[in-house]
Structure 1
Amino acid sequence: MTQIEGDFYGPNNNFRLRHAYGSWDGILAGQYWTNFYGFVAGTPSIDFRGPPGVANQARQPQLRYTTGNFSVAIEDPDTLGGSERTENGVVQTEADAAKSELPDVTARYTDTSGSFKYSASAVLRQLEYDAAADANASVDDDSAFGWGVALEAAMDVSEAVILRAGLTHGDGMGGYMNVSPQTTPAYLANNGDLETLKTTGGTIGASIKAGPGAINASYNVATVDLDDEEIGGNDTFETAYLNYIWTPAERISYGIEASWASREEKDGAEGDATRIQGMVMYSF
């Protein structure tokens, strides 16, 4: 089969390519959901970007092989986070100076046992800094190894209640965590070493059927360990969602959601916000 799919989400309503792939006999080639995310732990929300702390629901070019419940893929290494460097204590970003010549490798296993569904996935990456691509570089090339794991689970406690939970952790995984406080997987320290960033996140949620729809609630958190690093910025994101999504007629869904979000920076600065969102969706 083949699929080409797009939308007009983003600045100026320009066309955005979502999926473009072909698959045959377990082999998939093209742009599709990253194999790192299992679609098991995500509690339904109206927030379009989704919660922090879970594996990223990104779409990226890949070559994937699936057999039964297991899938392995090599994926575009440039899509989910570049790198940063510091010069005299100031963080500078150089898009062409940080690259990965080798593709990211992902593997995932998803299965169901009765009312229990689970998924385990991993990503391995080779991160590199090319001094020749940065005219202002004062250090030599360097490389580092990055990795990440994600565990997801969901259980139908009854016909009306579903519980979900997920845990994501890695070192140098960068943007493979959704809404990460630091999407860069590594930075170039003043001593010339490429230092990876440790990331941890989690989610817990529940869905309860009520009337023509369901009440969904979740708490989500993502953290990046910056305590011993030379860079600053965000190190913790938290969100909580409470919504009701219902389907009054075939193909039509309504929803209303209250959410709370907070962020904290390495220096202790913090802030939070609340948001009310509504949704009308027609599926075709």
Structure 2
Amino acid sequence: MAKQTSYDTGTADDSSIGYAAFLAGKIAITDMISIQGAINFADGASAYVYRSGSNFAGADAYVDGNGDLETIEAVGGALGATFGLGNGRSVNAGYGTAMSDLDDAVQSGAVAATTTEQNTSMYINYMWSPVDSVSMGVQFENLETESQGGADGDANRLMYIAQYNF
């Protein structure tokens, strides 16, 4: 995928072409166990790397000290496993991470060192379908984040879902 990013202040302007590439797959180990994964790379299209940057999408580019628009690279990956337990029940586990290369952007002064550079998520859940048209699940997730300057944080969350399909 390709996209154009540009800026125009009225006195200065520039543009760049960004791109992103994806590879994903799933393999059934047995009729009850599958492994799936994906890897994403972007240069100037960070929104296409899930969970890059803060608030789900990092910046695509920045304007350097010379007024040139410079693209930002991002890479992400995820790996998951599903274990079918029969009777509409399963256990799923996953790990994902996304990283943006912000070193040049911070060095140029265009991006603050407090900007999110890496996000990581690990989860495990249990899903079941007690009756037709009803799905339920519980999930525990650990989330970690790190800024370009090295500050980090983490959080744990427990979620529950109940869904009825009409």
TM-score (norm 2): 0.90
Please state whether the residue corresponding to 1:248 is helix, strand or coil. Answer: coil
2:47: which partner in 1? 175
Misfit runs of 4+, over 3 Å: none
Please state whether the residue corresponding to 1:178 is helix, strand or coil. Answer: coil
Match of 1:227 among 103, 107, 129: 103
Q: Distance in 1 between matches of 2:158 and 2:93?
A: 14
Q: Distance in 1 between matches of 2:82 and 2:144?
A: 23
Unpaired segments ≥5 residues, structure 2: none
Q: Distance in 1 between matches of 2:137 and 2:5?
A: 41
Q: Give the aligned length.
A: 156
2:6: which partner in 1? 128
Q: Distance in 2 between matches of 1:160 and 1:251?
A: 21
Please state whether the residue corresponding to 1:229 is helix, strand or coil. Answer: helix
1:196: which partner in 2? 71
1:283: which partner in 2? 165
Deviations 1:37-75 (A, max 9, x none): xxxxxxxxxxxxxxxxxxxxxxxxxxxxxxxxxxxxxxx
Following superposition, the deviation at residue 249 of structure 1 comes to 1.1
Please state whether the residue corresponding to 1:258 is helix, strand or coil. Answer: strand
Which deviates further from its counterpart, 203-212 or 216-225?
A: 203-212
Q: Distance in 1 between matches of 2:141 and 2:160?
A: 11
Following superposition, the deviation at residue 198 of structure 1 comes to 0.2
1:238: which partner in 2? 120
TM-score (norm 1): 0.53
Alignment of 1:255 with 2:130, yes or no, is: no
Unpaired segments ≥5 residues, structure 1: 1-122, 133-138
CA-atom RMSD in angstroms: 1.2
